[in-house]
Amino acid sequence: MFQLIDGKSIAAQIKEEVKEEAERLKQAGIQVCLAVVQVGNDPASSVYVRNKKKACEYVGIRSASFELPEDTAEDELLELVRRLNEDDSVNGILVQLPLPEHISEDKVIQTISPDKDVDGFHPESVGRLCIGEKGFLSCTPAGIIELLRRSGVEIQGKECVVVGRSNIVGKPMALLLLKENGTVTIAHSRTADLKEITQRADILIVAIGRPRFITADYVKEGATVIDVGIHRNEDGHLCGDVDFDNVKEKTAFITPVPGGVGPMTIAMLMKNCIAAAK
């Protein structure tokens, strides 16, 4: 028997906690505000951005929305970010990724003031995480740690395998698991014998971006499986990087898609906004 890790309900709990904090700040005269910037109208990004704005509204964080056309010049976006850096009424800045090809994501991320880096993507935030200093944590990996914690899955001493090495998920995920005293392996698309590595995992975090890639033969009996992937097929159905129905019976704990990691990313963003305001 496996246990479903209900990201939606754990995220709802966290949002209740954030709501109370936002209320307390309001009573102290502080209205928390998140600037949400989207360039173009990638349908998936639009869904995620809409969910973020809805969460803001629910917890009592003001969201200031900036929707720029796909052909926005890089300089124009950088100028907007600088303006938001200077704006004292804005506590956090979120520029939804991916950006159009002609804009350098690195440049944009590095232009965001580290004090308003609620995504935790700025090199200063990443550097802090790397050396164990306090700072903004990338929302998806921080949300995964919170999912494990609130589900009673111990990390200390466990074999943790992260599949994927992106700056947004894989790398910070590995660092956070390490901070929790996990024994961490990062595998990726060029890993020679992926199955052999993933079969060792007590905690398997999958962020490879391939629909239903992880099947039962990749999973150790009794493992905890966290699925970061999100794919939409022709008929609008969502699935993850893990073949859920094939894998679930082999696991002790598993996250679904949707309703797993996604809602947690948003809940942690709300938490980071409160921290930014403080």
To 5 degrees, how large is the angle CA 156–CA 162–CA 167?
A: 115
To 5 degrees, how large is the angle CA 40–CA 45–CA 46?
A: 80
Q: Determine the interface stretch with ligand L34 among 84-92, 129-137, 214-222, 258-266 (rule: CB under 6 A).
A: 258-266
* CA-closest candidate to residue 14, choices 154, 174, 149: 149
CB of residue 259 to ligand L34, shortest distance in Å: 5
Residue 5 or 194: the one with the smaller Cβ distance to ligand L34 is: 5
To 5 degrees, how large is the angle CA 99–CA 46–CA 77?
A: 35
Among 59, 265, 270, 271, the residue binding ligand L34 under the rule CB under 6 A is: 265
Residue 63 or 265: the one with the smaller Cβ distance to ligand L34 is: 265
Among 38, 262, 272, 273, the residue binding ligand L34 under the rule CB under 6 A is: 262
Q: Is 241 a catalytic residue?
A: no
Q: Determine the interface stretch with ligand L34 among 46-54, 56-64, 71-79, 193-201 (rule: CB under 6 A).
A: 46-54
Count residues contacting ligand L34 (CB under 6 A)?
19
Pick left, alpha or beta for residue 258 (phi over 0 → left; psi -120 to 50 → alpha; otherwise beta): beta
Contacts with 54 (C-beta within 8 Å, 6 or more apart), sequence order: none
Q: 205 with 144: CB under 8 angstroms? A: yes
Among 47, 75, 89, 233, the residue binding ligand L34 under the rule CB under 6 A is: 47
CB of residue 156 to ligand L34, shortest distance in Å: 27
Q: Is 230 in the site for ligand L34 (CB under 6 A)?
A: yes
Among 51, 110, 151, 246, the residue binding ligand L34 under the rule CB under 6 A is: 51
Distance CA 61, CA 272 (A): 11
Q: Is 12 in the site for ligand L34 (CB under 6 A)?
A: no
* CA-closest candidate to residue 63, choices 118, 126, 109: 118
User: In the complex, which residues of this chain contact ligand L34 (CB under 6 A)?
Assistant: 47-48, 51, 94-97, 119, 139-140, 230, 238, 257-259, 262-263, 265-266
